[in-house]
Amino acid sequence: MQIKKILKDKFGYKKFRANQEDIIKNIISGKDVFAAMPTGGGKSLCYQIPSIVFEGLSIVVSPLVSLMKDQVDEAAENGIKAAYINSTLTAEEAKNVYADLYRGDIKLLYLSPERLSIDGYFERLKELSVAFFAVDEAHCLSEWGHDFRPDYLNLSKIKKYFPDIPVAAFTATATLKVQKDIIRILKMDDPFIVRASFDRPELFYRVEQKDIVLDQILAFIKDRPGDSGIVYRTSRKDVEKTADYLTKHGIKALPYHAGLSNSVREKNQEKFNRDKINVICATIAFGMGINKLNVRYVVHGDLPKSIEGYYQETGRAGRDGLESQCLLLYGGSDVARVQYHIGNMTDEKEKAKAEENLWRMLGFAKANVCRRKMLLEYFNEDSGNNCGFCDVCTDLVEREDATIDSQKIMSAIIRSGEKFGILHIVDIVCGADTEKIRKFNHEKLKTWGAGKDKSKKWWKSVIEELIMQDALIKDSESYNALKLTQKGSNILYGREKFYVIKKKEKKKTVEELSRQLGIAKYDKDMFQMLKDYRFELAVERNVPPYIIFSDKSLKDMCIIKPVDNSSFLRVTGVGERKLEEYGPLFIPRIKEYLGY
């Protein structure tokens, strides 16, 4: 069967996305493939279509155990006989899957990497007619990846046991160093290499300084009622606090972190996947493996440890190709926290890597240049012009010269002997009359009251920015006393300028920007009606709503307004199977809404 016909009949798409066709053709011809593709780039099609074409069994190795059932359900919706084997199955369930495998009734098998660590497991797989291996989340193979997993190293044995079958490695976040590592570990033979663009044009990136972080997160989410989103926090404690705070303010939110039991985590993720809650709050360090297509925003309440991790996490938004928002909140305390963690590292190589990651991430957060351009440059991709779709490019932020104010702060630090922390320095500059000020006679300093005209909040933000720009340090051995660095001295004595990034009043709303980008208008009431109906069907069939249809498909229905089989087939994601299954259900609803 021609792969383009499979694409249309089975999956309902008229054409391949960039690189998909070349990847699939190379796999089918028996060639190894390395593919670095952004999240939402359509990598699942790259192994699902070969599984239909090949006579034997296609195996996908994936660390996302909690998502395998959904992935199998999704494959089944597209007419692929699929199954999974992992630790969540009972002995009886696993036995039934193996029976189906030996009968040749399964075309696509999802396996956890831990399964391949079992002695003799590769020998057992050799008893099956294996035609193809796909390695998902392949960056887990490399110690230079952001999510290295030792269990993945067992995959180096694939070529030993199956030397003549193609192996394809897929990752959404691979630098050239990680790419080289993956190809070496998997012993790939002259692989076909694809480095797709890492650009996610549907994602709007914005960065803001922390103030009252829970209020900032709440305000952002309240502006997007009914939308699904993820909030990342660094600690389990902050995850719990954030989920509780959102819940108290009427947002359906649940926590997700390694401190919860497996059953609670699975239950919370299931509710999120099935649109029963709007927000999942998760630790950055604990990977969730989101397969949900309609995540409309990702909020980072703390500074991530690396750009690679940040890109992976923001990539969980907008997987259906629809516009989505990424908000990063950061402050000086984030930098101090990460530096403290780095200071406790004993491996000098790991320490150097962590420091480099921190300063790259910090550079992204505080830079006054196109956010997308900075992300793409990290992945060795030249983006050319500014993107026109981030806070910097749309004038939502401005660069302000704060040299004089920074000099007032640093003068107060020097004149008080570099022995005091943030709050006391702010009190000096603001001219506060406190017991501590009087005790040290700091009301007599030349800089006492030099900043009375501005708020304590402003002065605190200037200090935090000076810390983040490496002009000040907090000396942990002197009770976090502020001290000048060489850069701080240069600013104080006029040898360098000091700038801060400030949020501006919006010149354009996101809706106006969307119109500029040519995003088609759709009937929002009709969309809500279809969304509600999809939810009813999902509950009835015990599957996540996105498996029935993505938001993109529903919005396409609201634009096309299909009232017969022919027009329903024009909807993105509707193939012969979905037409047969869902046409008789959705077409009458659409006709009723339109008054037919």
Q: List pLDDT tens digits, range 389-413.
A: 898 888 777 778 899 999 999 999 9
Pick from 69, 546, 543, 557: nearest CA to 293: 546
Answer whether residue 515 is part of any domain: no
Same domain, 137 and 220: no
Domain of 413, CATH number, reads 1.10.10.10
Answer whether residue 233 is part of any domain: yes
| Residues 165-185: tens digit of each pLDDT | 999 999 887 778 889 999 999
Q: Which of 165, 195, 225 is the last residue of a domain?
A: 195
Phi/psi at 417 (5° precision): 85, 15
Same domain, 334 and 406: no
Residue 278: its pLDDT value, please?
A: 95
Degrees, nearest 5: CA angle 330-336-338: 80
Report the range of poorest mean pLDDT among 197-201, 379-383, 395-399: 395-399
| Residues 347-361: tens digit of each pLDDT | 888 888 888 888 888
pLDDT band at 297 (very low <50, low <70, confident <90, very high): very high
What is the number of structural domains in the chain? 4
Compute the distance between CA of residue 204 and CA of residue 324 in angstroms, rounded to an integer.
6
Same domain, 144 and 226: no
| Residues 543-561: tens digit of each pLDDT | 889 889 988 899 899 999 9
Q: Which of 437, 469, 503 is the last residue of a domain?
A: 503
Query: Can you read off the two tokens belonging to residue 171?
Result: 């990752």
Burial readout 48-81 (b: 16 or more C-beta within 10 A, e: otherwise): bbbbbbbeebbbbbbbbbbbbbbbbebbebbbbb
Same domain, 296 and 278: yes
- Contacts of residues 40-43 at CB distance under 8 Å and 24 or more positions apart, as own/partner, are 40/200, 40/202, 40/315, 40/318, 40/319, 40/320, 40/321, 41/17, 41/172, 41/196, 42/16, 42/17, 43/136, 43/170, 43/172
| Mean pLDDT across 263-292 | 83
Same domain, 328 and 235: yes
Answer whether residue 495 is part of any domain: yes
Same domain, 142 and 175: yes
Query: Can you read off the two tokens belonging to residue 379?
Result: 């992945």
Answer whether residue 149 is part of any domain: yes
> Any alpha helices (H) in 469-569, and if so which ranges?
486-492, 510-516, 524-541, 545-548, 551-560, 565-568
| Residues 484-512: tens digit of each pLDDT | 999 999 999 999 999 887 766 544 444 44
Degrees, nearest 5: CA angle 225-231-233: 155
Q: Which residue's structure tokens are 């107060």?
A: 412
pLDDT band at 163 (very low <50, low <70, confident <90, very high): very high
Same domain, 164 and 267: no
Domain of 532, CATH number, reads 1.10.150.80
Same domain, 152 and 256: no
Q: Are 338 and 203 in contact (CB under 8 A)?
A: no
Residue 515: its pLDDT value, please?
A: 41
pLDDT band at 1 (very low <50, low <70, confident <90, very high): low
Query: Can you read off the two tokens belonging to residue 375?
Result: 């992300």
Degrees, nearest 5: CA angle 371-470-476: 125
Same domain, 409 and 283: no
Residue type at 517 in one-letter notation: L
Pick from 167, 198, 193: nearest CA to 180: 193
Same domain, 178 and 92: yes
Answer whether residue 76 is part of any domain: yes
Kindly tell me if the per-residue pLDDT of 197 is higher than 90. Answer: no
Same domain, 144 and 29: yes
Degrees, nearest 5: CA angle 568-573-576: 60
The partner residues of 330 in beta bridges, in order of sequence, read: 209
Residue type at 55 in one-letter notation: E
Pick from 574, 536, 576, 581: nearest CA to 555: 574
Answer whether residue 509 is part of any domain: no
Q: What's the pTM?
A: 0.70
Give residue 93's domain range: 3-195
Q: Beta-carbon neighbour count of residue 343 at 10 Å?
A: 11
Residue 517: its pLDDT value, please?
A: 40
- Collapse the DSSP code of 34 into the 3-class scheme (helix H, G, I; strand E, B; otherwise coil) and give the result: strand
pLDDT band at 514 (very low <50, low <70, confident <90, very high): very low
Q: Beta-carbon neighbour count of residue 31 at 10 Å?
A: 17
Q: Which of 172, 195, 218 is the last residue of a domain?
A: 195
Answer whether residue 512 is part of any domain: no
Domain of 278, CATH number, reads 3.40.50.300
- Collapse the DSSP code of 397 into the 3-class scheme (helix H, G, I; strand E, B; otherwise coil) and give the result: strand
Answer whether residue 513 is part of any domain: no
Residue 516: its pLDDT value, please?
A: 42
pLDDT band at 289 (very low <50, low <70, confident <90, very high): low
Residue 147: its pLDDT value, please?
A: 67
Same domain, 71 and 105: yes
Compute the distance between CA of residue 224 and CA of residue 299 in angstroms, rounded to an integer.
12
Residues counted in the chain: 596
The partner residues of 419 in beta bridges, in order of sequence, read: none
